[in-house]
Amino acid sequence: MNDELPNLERRLEQATAPLCPEEALNDPQLAAWREGWLALEQLLESIEPPADWRPVQRVLPANISRAPRGASVVSALIAASLLVGLTVFGLYHTENSLSETGLGRHPIVQQHTPQNIPEETDLRWDDNWDEKLSALSTRLALVQGDGDVWTADYLNLRSRANALQQELENNAL
């Protein structure tokens, strides 16, 4: 068998060569192999890619995909910047609103804004916290009471001013 191997190799090389010598085809077996080879050639030529097939554009995916990846990173950075900007603007706007309503300046409000309230890590009934809430309610009532006092004083003064104006108009003074 080993002695036949070089002969078989030579004949198969001839049968599958681009050009087969005419005299080699006198060998019936070699001629049969040649027919099979030519049939294969015919099929493979028929499945060639189209003339405009360009593997270059499909190779080096790293170069092709670099641009979209860079664009997505830039987009993500812009989105993150916008998010931070909107958050800062929102916080600034909220603080100004509190200042305009006077709540932001009131000491009681400042004292009990969320960042000043001690964080509770455990959900349980807390008498101490209940006492703090009561104290806060009392102080709020006092502030409201102060407002009522101020309102009463203002109304009293306005009433007296109106009376003085009426007397001036009547030349009573």
Partner 1 sequence: MSSFAPETRNAEWFAAWIREHGRAVRGYLLGMVRRADLADDLTQEVFTRAWAARGRYREEGHGRAYLLKIADRLLCDERRQRAGDLTLEDADWRRCEPVSADGEPGSGISARETAAELTQALKQLPPAQRRVLLLRYYGQMTFAEIAKMTESPLGTVLSHCRRGLEALRRLLVDHLP
Cα 15 from Cα 9, distance rounded (Å): 10
DSSP assignment, residue 26?
G
Residue 11, judged by CB atoms within 10 A of its CB (0-12, 13-18, 19+), counts as middle
Least Å from the CB of residue 30 to partner 1: 10
Using CB under 8 A as the binding rule, whether residue 68 contacts partner 1 is answered as: no
Number of helices and strands in the chain (H, E): 6, 0
Give the binding range for partner 1 (CB under 8 A) out of 9-17, 72-80, 89-97, 135-143.
Answer: 9-17
CA dihedral 144, 150, 152, 157 (to 10 degrees): -170
Residue at token pair 């001013």: 161
Among 3, 52, 58, 67, binds partner 1 (CB under 8 A): 58
Q: How far is the CB of 26 from partner 1 (least distance, A)?
A: 17
CA dist., res. 138 & res. 144, Å (int) = 10
User: Given the complex with partner 1, which of 40 and 133 has the nearer CB atom?
Assistant: 40
Buried/exposed code over 105-140 (b: 16+ C-beta within 10 A; e: otherwise): eeeebeeeeeeeeeeeeeeeeeeeeeeeeeeeeeee
Q: Does 130 bind partner 1 (CB under 8 A)?
A: no
* 8 near partner 1, judged by CB under 8 A: yes
- Minimum CB distance to partner 1, residue 119 (Å): 53
Q: Which of residues 70-109 bind partner 1 (CB under 8 A)?
A: none
Tell me: does residue 65 bind partner 1 (CB under 8 A): no
Minimum separation from the CB atom of position 48 to partner 1 (A): 7
Q: Quick one: which segment of 12-20, 79-87, 115-123, 132-140 binds partner 1 (CB under 8 A)? A: 12-20
Query: Within a 13 Å sphere around the CA of 25, how many CA atoms are in the beta-carbon half?
Result: 11
Binding site for partner 1 (CB under 8 A): 1, 5, 8-9, 12-13, 15-16, 18, 32-33, 35-37, 39-49, 53, 55-56, 58-62
